[in-house]
């Protein structure tokens, strides 16, 4: 069996695009993968086309060797564009191998260690009474873990972190009071804060208000996280931007975080994700995978979550709070896809990923205009989205 064709598709799904990739073989068996570099899909397609020049004609079962060749085949190794391209191909190759062997992908990763994959959901409303109502709805639907969004994210042009720290902290306290002590509660700051701002936010809440603080600051400097670690006792959930095992090194080995927000569609696929999972297990770091994309990413991550011991919760954007607003879980494009049963994804035993894509829908689904927000502070300076 040889790889015959590699075809990337940028498809408008809900409020943004998904880059999905079909890898075909000369025996008419194919697999699907997805890239996680949202908003920069054309750059990833360029990398995929480079890789296709030498991946086409190769044995799709040689997943590890192909991963190494793709990563090492340029002088300038790594980086998010390249590993997002590798990830899409790696996931598709796992899909092919599972289909050929008649086994689910989790069997290729060592076999299932759980039957259900628990998820965390996210409130959509900004901090306020509506946010509390959404959180209570999630609890009533079976969620035991959830994530809040900070004040100010609804503005797509202006963001002043200092103006939003106090009201966000106040509503986190109110959410804890309303939901009780048993709910796992976190918040995602989307790396919008400085170390001082993040410390100020944490210090405005009683200990125990939050169970995790996600991406409070940018990830380029582990030393900055070490400084913040000394100023708060809230567990950190970080790593969704990390593009290799090497980027995880200082965070895992210096005990800087407690939850790895690993993204299988950014880090280099299932091959690289399994290496990070084992390393994390050795340091008692739990996995809380990033999953903001589509059903292919969800399916791959469910198989990953099923096959590792140190797993906590999988992000889902298909909860009753977000599903209709975001529209990522498109039943027309993905007629067969992972389905939530209350707050869990059952682990599929269907060969491969257990995903189907209606290619006729792709032909009539153009990309949507989807440039990420370019935020400024009130003084006119640029800040993080």
The three-state DSSP-derived secondary structure of 70-81 is: HHHCCCCCCCHH
Q: Is 382 a catalytic residue?
A: no
Tell which residue, 266, 268, 344, has the closest CA to residue 306. Answer: 344
Exposure string for 12-40, b = 16+ CB within 10 A, e = fewer = bbbebbbbbbbbbbeeebbbbbbbbbbee
Catalytic residue from among 190, 191, 303, 344 = 190
- Reported as a single tens digit per residue, the pLDDT across 189-228 is 999 999 999 999 999 999 999 999 999 999 999 999 999 9
Taking the complete model, does pTM exceed 0.95, yes or no? yes
In whole angstroms, give the CA distance from residue 240 to residue 79.
13
For residue 61, give both structure tokens: 């079962």
- Reported as a single tens digit per residue, the pLDDT across 142-155 is 999 999 989 887 78
- Reported as a single tens digit per residue, the pLDDT across 304-335 is 999 999 999 999 999 999 988 888 888 999 99
Going by the DSSP 8-state scheme, the letter that residue 351 receives in this structure is: S
Catalytic residue from among 94, 164, 290, 344 = 290
CATH superfamily of this structure's domain 3-103: Enolase-like, N-terminal domain (3.30.390.10)
Q: Tell me the average pLDDT across 38-55.
A: 96
What fold does the segment set 107-351 form as a domain?
TIM Barrel (3.20.20)
All structural domains of the chain with their residue ranges: 3-103, 107-351
User: What's the maximum distance between 2 C-alpha atoms anywhere in the chain?
Assistant: 61
CB 343, CB 147: distance < 8 Å: no
CB 151, CB 187: distance < 8 Å: no
- Per-residue pLDDT band for 347 (boundaries 50, 70, 90) equals very high
- Tokens 């015959």 label which residue? 4
> Can you name the residues that pair with 315 across neighbouring β-strands?
120
In whole angstroms, give the CA distance from residue 157 to residue 378.
10
Q: What are phi and psi of 249, to 5 degrees?
A: -50, -60
In whole angstroms, give the CA distance from residue 248 to residue 164.
30
Tell which residue, 338, 31, 383, has the closest CA to residue 218. Answer: 383
Q: Is 190 a catalytic residue?
A: yes
């Amino acid at each position: 069996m040889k790889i015959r064709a590699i075809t990337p598709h940028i498809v408008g799904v809900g409020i943004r695009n998904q880059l999905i990739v079909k890898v075909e073989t000369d025996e008419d068996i194919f697999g699907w993968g997805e890239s996680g570099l949202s908003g920069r899909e054309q750059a990833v397609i360029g990398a995929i086309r480079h890789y296709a020049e030498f991946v086409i004609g190769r044995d799709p079962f040689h997943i590890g060797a192909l991963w190494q060749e793709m990563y090492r085949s340029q002088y300038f190794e790594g980086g998010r564009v390249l590993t997002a391209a590798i990830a899409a191909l790696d996931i598709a190759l796992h899909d092919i191998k599972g289909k050929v062997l008649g086994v689910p992908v989790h069997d290729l990763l060592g076999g299932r260690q759980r039957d259900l994959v628990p998820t965390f959901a996210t409130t959509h409303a900004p901090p306020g009474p509506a946010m509390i109502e959404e959180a209570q709805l999630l609890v009533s639907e079976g969620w035991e873990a959830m994530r809040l969004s900070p004040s100010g994210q609804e503005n797509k042009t202006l963001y002043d972190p200092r103006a939003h720290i106090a009201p966000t902290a106040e509503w986190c306290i109110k959410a804890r009071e309303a939901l009780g002590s048993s709910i796992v509660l976190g918040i995602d700051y989307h790396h919008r804060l400085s170390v001082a701002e993040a410390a100020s936010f944490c210090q405005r809440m009683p200990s125990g208000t939050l169970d995790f603080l996600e991406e409070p600051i940018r990830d380029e400097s582990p030393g900055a996280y070490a400084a913040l670690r000394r100023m708060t006792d809230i567990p950190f959930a970080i790593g969704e931007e990390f593009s290799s095992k090497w980027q995880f090194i200082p965070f895992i080995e210096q005990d800087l975080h407690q939850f790895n927000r690993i993204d299988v569609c950014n880090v280099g696929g299932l091959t690289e994700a399994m290496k990070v999972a084992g390393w994390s297990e050795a340091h008692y770091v739990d996995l809380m995978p990033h999953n903001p994309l589509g059903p292919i990413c969800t399916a791959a991550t469910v198989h990953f979550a099923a096959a590792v011991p140190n797993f906590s919760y999988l992000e889902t954007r298909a909860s009753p709070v977000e599903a209709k607003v975001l529209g990522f879980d498109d039943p027309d494009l993905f007629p067969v896809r992972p389905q939530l049963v209350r707050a869990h994804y059952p682990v599929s035993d269907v060969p491969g990923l257990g995903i189907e894509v209606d290619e006729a829908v792709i032909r009539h689904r153009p990309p949507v205009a989807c440039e990420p927000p370019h935020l400024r502070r009130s003084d006119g300076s640029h800040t993080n989205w």
